[in-house]
């Protein structure tokens, strides 16, 4: 098997490159978020270092993601793009996606899993070419009340939850709205600046307990939301508010009222990060189609 070619003094402005799309999965507990932060272990930071090491590059490449996940948030279908010099790959063989995946996954050792790797047109952009993102949030109904369950992939809440009321409430967020009441405002932005987002679908589903782990036979409730894009903490803020509606602590019209008022005063804090996962990113066929198992 030929070795990767070493590349010194990498300068993307003068070196011919190929754009690669990488589909990733990772456990958010292992990272201080997605975006590169030199002082912390992040998804992009680890991936940059691993690419440079695996391909014998003197400089770490720039990586662009479809979206940022907060610390503790998981991903089963994150998408990034990275421009890699063409001379790293043997001319007679061309890009070898399978070999690149194997090499990266061997070095990453399970911290991040590269699910797919492919060369794409250089007009592809992991963030700006995406037409939607889809997240899921998993909650566990706790019975009897007061019992707390520890789970790295879900949020334990006091049940039972009124899923019909929760779905009725979510009808208000589908469409284009100003989500200032449910987002953490970007640094240095004005409080008067709108946070307009378009939600394509939002629904809650009770999951059957095939293993009979709960006396209610339905310990889990899953929130799935698809939008063109999301603002910071949007899914977690919506989740905590709708869970309170399902518990009967807030009125079913709360989402509608707060979207109109733009005020989140006295609403519950964001739901914990561990229950949230990025499960799909939408792309046109020229870019390889959607990531994950959602279509």
The dihedral sign for the CA sequence 84, 87, 91, 93: negative
The answer to whether 65 touches 34, Cβ cutoff 8 Å, is: yes
Measured distance CA(250)–CA(245) in Å, rounded: 5
Mark whether 70 is an active-site residue: yes
Q: Is the dihedral of CA 85, 87, 91, 93 positive or negative?
A: negative
Choice among 11, 27, 58, 70 that is catalytic: 70
Torsion sign over Cα 60, 107, 42, 116:
positive
Tokens for 223?
Answer: 């929130």
**Residue 240: its H or E element:** helix 234-246
Structure tokens at 227: 């939008």
Q: What are the structure tokens assigned to 18, written together?
A: 């190929």
Tokens describing residue 183: 């987002």
- DSSP notation for 128-169: TT--EEEEEEEEEEESSTT-----TT-EEEES---HHHHHHH
Q: Which residues are catalytic?
A: 70
């Amino acid at each position: 098997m030929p070795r990767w070619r070493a590349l010194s003094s990498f300068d993307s402005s003068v070196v011919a490159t190929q754009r690669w799309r990488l589909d990733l999965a990772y456990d958010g507990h292992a990272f201080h978020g997605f975006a590169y932060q030199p002082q912390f272990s992040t998804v992009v930071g680890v991936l940059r270092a691993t690419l440079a090491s695996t391909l014998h590059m003197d400089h770490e490449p720039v990586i662009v993601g479809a979206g940022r996940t907060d610390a503790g948030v998981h991903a089963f279908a994150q998408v990034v793009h990275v421009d890699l010099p063409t001379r790293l790959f043997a001319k007679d063989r061309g890009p070898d996606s399978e070999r690149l995946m194997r090499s990266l996954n061997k070095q990453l050792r399970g911290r991040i899993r590269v699910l797919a790797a492919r060369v794409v047109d250089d007009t592809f952009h992991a963030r700006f070419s995406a037409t939607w993102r889809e997240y899921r949030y998993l909650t566990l109904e706790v019975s009897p009340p007061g019992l707390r369950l520890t789970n790295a992939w879900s949020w334990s809440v006091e049940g039972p939850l009124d899923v019909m009321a929760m779905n009725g409430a979510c009808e208000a967020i589908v469409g284009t709205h100003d989500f200032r009441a449910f987002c953490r405002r970007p640094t240095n932005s004005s409080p008067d600046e709108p946070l307009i987002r378009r939600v394509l679908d939002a629904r809650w589903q009770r999951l059957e307990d095939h293993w009979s782990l709960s006396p209610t036979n339905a310990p889990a409730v899953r929130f799935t939301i698809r939008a063109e894009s999301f603002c910071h903490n949007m899914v977690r803020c919506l989740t905590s508010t709708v869970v309170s509606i399902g518990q009967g602590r807030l009125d079913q019209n709360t989402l509608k009222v707060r979207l109109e008022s733009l005020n989140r005063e006295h609403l519950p804090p964001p739901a914990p990060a561990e229950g949230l996962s990025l499960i799909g990113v939408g792309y046109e066929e020229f870019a390889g189609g959607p990531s994950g198992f959602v279509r």
